[in-house]
Structure 1
């Protein structure tokens, strides 16, 4: 199993970010070929301070090849291109695998 994790920095308008993410971006991500599951988590600091990220999304794929093929697909390119439309706090992507 390979998990593409996207950690989103704090947006200028959290409510607008959440609305856009749920109604536009998450469906784009779900359409990427090879995505087996998507898990979306809002972040909070343990001691009441803000966490470094607003939201973390985990997209599960069967293999590294499936991740690369999904990202290279037209649907993957559409999802990647959409980041500029709402992620004004930035987005950090990394891959986890077992």
Structure 2
């Protein structure tokens, strides 16, 4: 099991400005959160061609619940949280999740 923080970004007012700020300023802030084992992000597209509910989603992974709690209460996470107001003009939805691996490879070819 791992623990994840998902950060779901609504569509920003200026997508190019969001992308530039996110990659050059916000990612370095978030990447130093203690206990972080993996950090991914990507822009979202819907599978049916409709407007997706989010512009981008970031995933911050922690090895266990204690690491998650320590990371969430760290000064580094607080700094990253305060930084959201500088670029996340489309709003932010965040949640945590305990992830359980349900099997091995799903390659069925």
Tell me the equivalent position of 2:84. 83
Q: Which runs of no fewer than 5 residues in structure 1 stay unpaired?
A: none
Q: TM-score, normalised by structure 2?
A: 0.86
Q: CA deviation at 1:47?
A: 2.3
Tell me the equivalent position of 1:93. 94
Tell me the equivalent position of 2:33. 32
Q: Which has the larger radius of gyration?
A: 2
CA distance in structure 2 between the partners assigned to 1:46 and 1:10 by the alignment = 17
Count of matched residue positions in the alignment of Structure 1 and Structure 2: 98
Q: Which secondary structure does the structure 1 equivalent of 2:42 belong to?
A: strand
Tell me the equivalent position of 2:48. 47
Q: CA deviation at 1:50?
A: 1.6
Structure 1 moving runs of 4+ over 3 Å: none
Tell me the equivalent position of 2:66. 65
CA distance in structure 2 between the partners assigned to 1:96 and 1:83 by the alignment = 21
CA distance in structure 1 between the partners assigned to 2:69 and 2:86 by the alignment = 23
Q: Which runs of no fewer than 5 residues in structure 2 stay unpaired?
A: 101-109
The answer to whether structure 1 residue 8 and structure 2 residue 9 are counterparts is yes
Larger fraction in helix: 1
Q: Which secondary structure does the structure 1 equivalent of 2:66 belong to?
A: helix
Q: CA deviation at 1:96?
A: 1.4
Q: CA deviation at 1:12?
A: 0.3
> Over the residues paired in the alignment, what is the CA RMSD in angstroms?
0.9
CA distance in structure 1 between the partners assigned to 2:23 and 2:3 by the alignment = 23
